[in-house]
Amino acid sequence: MASWKTIGLALGAALALGACGGNGGGSDDDQLYLFVADMGGDKLWVFALDEDTGEIAPDPVRIVEGPSTGLDQPYEIHADRHGNLVVGNMGGDPYAGKVTVYDKGADGDVAPRRTIQTRFGGDTDVDPIQPVGLSTRRDPGDIFVAMDGWSILYEYPWEEARPGFVDLATGFFWGSWLQSASDVVFDKNRRRLLVADRSQNAVFALRDDRNSEVSRPPEETLQGPNTLLDEPVSLDIDDAGQIYVLNHGNGSVTVYAADVMGIVNPFNDGDLAPIRRVGGPSSVNQFTGATTLAVSPAGHLYVLQGNSVKVFGPGDTTPAQSFHHPGFVGPTGLDIESH
């Protein structure tokens, strides 16, 4: 395996050649990155990953921070397949919450390419927004936002529709079936949205048909005692389609087969068991207080617990690395660029 010094030199050359922004054309190098939202430090960290071992490099390749960035208590982060970053900012109160979007290669005190706030009323009326879950379509890159404790998902276009005005969502996913959306991820292989509902101990699947407003029930579900779901707060999908869920209630990560979600009917109610469980009650690796997880294309699992990121190899239940950077103040969000 190449040393981090060798990888760092290669990274420097790649960044010098391809740090330009934009959301077209895919990635310009094969390096995999871990993105960390540091809510306490008002900054975003970017670390290189070893794709074979999953190991996190000791030093960041980029840090986004400063007054021009518009970062305000960044809680959640999502990296699309082009390396663009979508960040959910909590702000000091619900009316200060917003989503900021940055081009690939963003570094230092850089301004976002756009800022999203939401409205229900007039063109300049700002309504509460507390973004805890973020995802994008593979193509086009429409942005999905799950709000803390809300029974609705918002969808926004990638490009700003009317500069100078507060954004109006172009799509909604809502209904009595959804009580408290805690995360959302777009399953590119099956063209569906997966939504975690913390209060119902459930994960729901919605077909992505690009309707402007959708209030129908979900087509598939994971819910019931066999699932071992307990206050799900974060979810992700690997390249094989396996679903990973971080459970706040019992401090575990449960992993489900790609085809596990059941059609909601009397014959299959979605009460299906995971294929693997990491952590949980009575486990030495119980993830008490963990806020989020991320999964690499190869299946390496990253769990953010306190100021440390625990790294697990595919299929492992014991961490291969417990990573902490001395500059972390209060990290809360993780993501890995999806190629």
In a domain, 18, yes or no: no
Q: What pLDDT digit, counting tens, does each position of 94-121 carry?
A: 677 888 999 999 999 999 998 887 655 4
Full domain range(s) for residue 173: 29-336
Q: Give the pLDDT of residue 14.
A: 38
Asked if the model's pLDDT at residue 201 lies above 90, the reply is yes
Name the more confident of 80 and 311.
311
In-domain check, residue 15: no
Phi, psi at 94, each rounded to 5°: -55, -35
CATH number at residue 171: 2.120.10.30
Count of residues in the chain:
339
Residue 299 pLDDT > 60, yes or no?
Answer: yes
138 or 232, which is more confident?
A: 232
For the record, the structure tokens of 167 come out as 């954004």
DSSP for residue 120:
S
Name the pTM for this structure: 0.84
Q: Look at residue 20 and tell me if it is in a domain.
A: no
Portion of the chain with pLDDT greater than 70, in percent: 75
Mean pLDDT over the full length of the chain: 80
Q: Indicate whether 46 belongs to any domain.
A: yes
pLDDT at 251 over 80: yes
Q: Write down the pLDDT at residue 166.
A: 57
Q: Is residue 17 part of a domain?
A: no
Measured between alpha carbons, how far is 253 from 182 in angstroms, rounded to an integer?
15
Residue 223 identity (one-letter amino acid): Q
Q: State how many domains the chain has.
A: 1
Please indicate whether residue 272 or residue 176 has the higher confidence score (pLDDT): 272
Answer yes or no: are the C-beta atoms of 194 and 235 closer than 8 Å: yes
| Residue 21 domain flag | no
pLDDT number for residue 328: 97
